[in-house]
Amino acid sequence: MVKIRYILLTMAIVLVCVGVYFGEQEMVLSKAIRICLECIGIG
Amino acid sequence: MMKRIIQLISTVLFNGYLVGFAKGSIYMGGLKVTCVPVLNCYSCPGALGSCPIGSLQGVLKSKNSNFSFYVLGSIMLFGIVLGRVICGFLCPFGFLQDLLYKIPLKKHNEFKFDKQLRYLKYVVLVVLVILGPMFITNQFGEGDPLFCKWLCPAGTLEAGIPLAIANDGIRGALGFMFSYKVAILIVILLLSIKIYRPFCKFLCPLGGIYGLFNRFSFYQMSVDHNTCINCNRCIEACKMNVDVINNINSAECIRCGDCVKVCPVDAIDSGFVKEFNKIKNEG
């Protein structure tokens, strides 16, 4: 169980790092700073 | 009481851009580069971070990518560290459901098909959050966020209604979809008075993902079977209907701590794994 826990933690950190390497955080930001019309029931 | 204070602080913290509520606009600063651990709509006027489920749908299928390492990694990181303690202590929509359940009316927490309906959140996750946006796209090649569009009550409550009140332009554009989403919200809020956290139990895709991490997360619940007297008070106290004695780290446990409070022999413990040396049962 302890091994799985640390493997999953490592995988999560690696995924975040890969995402940052590809600049995905900028895509998240660009979506989040615009009002999501679907979320509010217009789109 | 401590739980309520944490829930309140977390709700205010995740939605701390108060100017947005007055202006009918949203925060557009750099903090939104990070995902918050809870289902908190990024179009809420107060939201300071990004909703992981909204972001997942937005980034999963866009003109530039077909996968989101960053959002999936963030969700996984929250899940492996905390599991569903996020649902129990940090989620603003969970907090609201908790408050509604306090209304003193007869409760219906145990009913037929309860167990089967728990799997619905995984159907929502796969169909509305993952497959929908991947296969249904607009003319710009961007995925359609089906969960936000057709189901998410948090978006209606935190974003739709406040923006409709404070922003003339948005109010003028409201139509059938808004009425439909308000109807969904009202049904879920009314159900929350009778059933404990119906959205968390049956529909929340984020809770579903975190539930999968409950067994492995650094934050754990444990039962000391040598101390336990099998009085079943914990099982009776659990409003998520978890078999506390045999499966305390079930995917359905939101780590609210009700079982810890009622145990007459202090056989139940919770905390980060390093903190307690007496984990007898991690399973």
- Could you tell me the residue range of the domain that residue A36 belongs to? 2-40
Contact assignment for B69 to A29 by CB distance below 8 Å: no
The answer as to CATH 3.30.70.20 being correct for domain B214-272 is yes
Q: What local confidence, expressed as pLDDT, does residue B252 receive?
A: 98
Domain boundaries, chain B: 2-210, 214-272
> Measured between alpha carbons, how far is B11 from B17 in angstroms, rounded to an integer?
12
Task: Read off the pLDDT of each residue in B97-119 and give the average, rounded to a whole number.
Answer: 94
d(CA B44, CA B24): 9
Across the interface, whether the CB atoms of A22 and B30 are under 8 A apart is answered no
Q: How many CB pairs under 8 A join A and B?
A: 158
Interface test with A, best of B26, B27, B43 (most A CBs within 10 A): B43
Give the CA angle between residues B236, B241, B242 to the nearest 5°.
Answer: 95
Res B25 pLDDT > 50:
yes
In the block, which residue shows the tokens 């509010």? A40
Structure tokens belonging to residue A37: 């019309």
Q: For residue B46, list chain A residues with Cβ-Cβ distance below 8 A.
A: none
Chain B contact for A25, CB < 8 A?
A: yes
Strand (E) positions, A1-43?
A: none
Number of domains observed in the structure of chain A: 1
Alpha-carbon dihedral of residues B177, B181, B141, B46, nearest 10 degrees?
120
Q: pLDDT value at position B64?
A: 65
Amino acid identity, residue B158?
A: E
- How high is the pLDDT of residue B61? 72
Query: Within a 13 Å sphere around the CA of B265, how many CA atoms are in the beta-carbon half?
Result: 12
Asked whether residue B149 carries a pLDDT value surpassing 50, the answer given is: yes
Instruction: Name the pLDDT band for B184 (thresholds 50, 70, 90).
Output: very high
B62 pLDDT tier (thresholds 50, 70, 90): low
Query: What residue in A sits closest to B216 (Cα-Cα)?
Result: A5
Supply the DSSP string of B165-226, one letter for each residue. HH-HHHHHH--HHHHHHHHHHHHHHHHHHHSSSHIIIII-HHHHHHHHHTTTSSEEEEE-TT
E strands in B22-106: none
